[in-house]
Amino acid sequence: MNEKKPLPFKMEEVEQGCVLYNLDPIVMKYHYEVDYIHSYAQDSPFFEGLAKGELKGSRCTKCGGTFATPRSHCMTCGAETEWMQLPLTGKVHTYTTCYFGGQEFLAETPFTLIMVEWPGVDTLFLSRLIGVAPEDVKIGMDIQAKFKRLSQFKPTDVYFVPVG
């Protein structure tokens, strides 16, 4: 009954080896990847809104400050904010076209980043502009929000195109 398994008498060998670049000094490649469980937490209604074709910012319930990129508490007075609908048309506050980027986005280059402004809203919103040649983007141009049909629950579920 209580028979003991025989103890191993040597460390097990593995055959996958390693990727070695150099011996002096030893330089080797090491794979490093994780699945990360991310929660949008209090920002979740913004991403839910994108899936419904709505763009939501925040309004402070105390001082009335407005934020085009949402936050649950006001950065001026610290009070709680409430959700507000942003108009689906705005203007380009500034822009750039990226010909390089972080590795995750390299395949998407070139892409155009814009900061969106709305009259009467105190802060801006970062997004992508589609359908305009880099040399034709202008500060102040009128733009319109469009939403991805298949939501990825990322801020790129909304993007902007020229009006008209």
Kindly list the residues in this chain that would bind another protein in the complex (CB under 8 A).
Answer: 22, 25, 27, 30, 32, 38, 40, 43, 65, 67-69, 71, 75-76, 93-106, 108, 111, 113-115, 122-128, 134, 139, 154-156
Residue type, 157: D
CA-derived radius of gyration, the chain? 25
Q: How far is the CB of 16 from another protein (least distance, A)?
A: 20
Q: Which is nearer to another protein, 25 or 164 (CB)?
A: 25
Nearer of residues 76 and 85 to another protein, judged by Cβ: 76
Q: Could you tell me which residues come within 8 angstroms of residue 139 by beta carbon, excluding any fewer than 6 positions away?
A: 92, 93, 94, 95
Contact of 59 with 123, CB cutoff 8 Å: no
CB nearer another protein, residue 11 or residue 41: 41
Residues 43, 45, 47, 50: is their CA dihedral positive or negative? negative
Least separation, in Å, of the C-beta of 48 and another protein?
A: 13
